[in-house]
Structure 1
Amino acid sequence: MSTTIGLSTYSFFWQWHAETVAEPITLTGMIDKTAALGATLLQICDYPLIESYTDEELRILKAYGDSKGVTFELGTRGVTPEHLALYLRLAQALDVTLVRSMLYTATSRPTASEAEQMLKDAVVGYEAVGVTLALETYEQVSSSVLVDIVTAVGSPNLGICLDPANCVAALEHPADVVRRTAPLVKNIHVKDFSFSRRDGWVGFTLASCPLGEGQLDYHGMIAAVGPAEKNINQIIEHWVPWQGDSATTIALEDAWTSKNLETLRSYAK
Structure 2
Amino acid sequence: MKVGTSTYALFWTWHAGPGRSGDLPETDLRGLVARGADDGAEVVQLCDHPDVERQSPEQLRGLRSFAAERGVCLEAGTRGVDAEHLDRWLDVCAALGSPLLRSMLPASARDPEGFRAAVAGITRVVPRLEDAGVDLALETYEQVPTGTLVDVVEAVGSDRVGICLDPGNCVAALEHPRDVVERCAPHVRNVHVKDFGFSRQDGWVGFTYAGAPLGEGLLDLDHLLDAALAVRPDVTCVVEQWVPWQGDAAATRETEAAWNARSLAVLTAQQRRRTPALAP
* TM-score bin (small chain): over 0.9
Which residue of structure 1 aligns with residue 3 of structure 2?
5
Which residue of structure 2 aligns with residue 46 of structure 1?
48
Distance 1:259 1:119, change over 3 A: same
Q: Deviations over 1:4-58 (max 9, x none)?
A: 1000011110111253734331111111111111222100001122111112211
Q: Secondary structure at the match of 1:195?
A: strand
CA contact (8 A) 2:107 2:143 kept: no
State yes or no: 1:225 paired with 2:231.
no
Alignment size in residue pairs? 265
Paired AA for residue 195 in structure 2: D
Q: Map residues 229-240 of structure 1 onto 2, 5 A cutoff.
A: 229-240=232-243
Cα distance in structure 2, aligned partners of 1:223 and 1:40 = 20
Distance 1:204 1:22, change over 3 A: closer
Paired AA for residue 64 in structure 2: K
2:248 to 226, 238, 245: 245
2:214 to 208, 211, 227: 211
Q: Secondary structure at the match of 2:250?
A: helix
State yes or no: 1:67 paired with 2:65.
no
Q: CA deviation at 1:256?
A: 0.4
Q: Provide the identity percentage.
A: 48
Cα distance in structure 2, aligned partners of 1:197 and 1:226 = 35
Q: Map residues 176-187 of structure 1 onto 2, 5 A cutoff.
A: 176-187=179-190
Which residue of structure 2 aligns with residue 164 of structure 1?
167
CA contact (8 A) 1:78 1:105 kept: no
Cα distance in structure 1, aligned partners of 2:267 and 2:137 = 22
Q: CA deviation at 1:100?
A: 0.3
Q: CA deviation at 1:251?
A: 0.4
Q: CA deviation at 1:78?
A: 0.5
Paired AA for residue 8 in structure 1: S
Paired AA for residue 10 in structure 1: Y
CA contact (8 A) 1:43 1:75 kept: yes
Which residue of structure 1 aligns with residue 200 of structure 2?
197
Q: Secondary structure at the match of 1:115?
A: helix
CA contact (8 A) 2:107 2:144 kept: no
Cα distance in structure 2, aligned partners of 1:169 and 1:220 = 20
Deviating more after overlay: 167-176 vs 221-230: 221-230
Flag structure 1 segments of 5+ consecutive residues without an equivalent: none
Cα distance in structure 1, aligned partners of 2:222 and 2:208 = 24
Distance 1:178 1:222, change over 3 A: same
CA contact (8 A) 1:160 1:181 kept: yes
Q: Deviations over 1:126-176 (max 9, x none)?
A: 111110000000000001000000001000100000000000000101111
Cα distance in structure 2, aligned partners of 1:38 and 1:267 = 14
Flag structure 2 segments of 5+ consecutive residues without an equivalent: 274-280
Q: TM-score, normalised by structure 1?
A: 0.94
State yes or no: 1:77 paired with 2:79.
yes
| Aligned-residue CA RMSD (Å) | 1.7
State yes or no: 1:259 paired with 2:272.
no
Q: TM-score, normalised by structure 2?
A: 0.90
2:137 to 134, 137, 140: 134
Which residue of structure 2 aligns with residue 87 of structure 1?
89
Paired AA for residue 224 in structure 2: M
Deviating more after overlay: 11-20 vs 115-124: 11-20
Q: Deviations over 1:83-139 (max 9, x none)?
A: 101110010111110010001289xx9711111111111222111111000000000
Distance 1:115 1:255, change over 3 A: same
CA contact (8 A) 1:17 1:24 kept: no
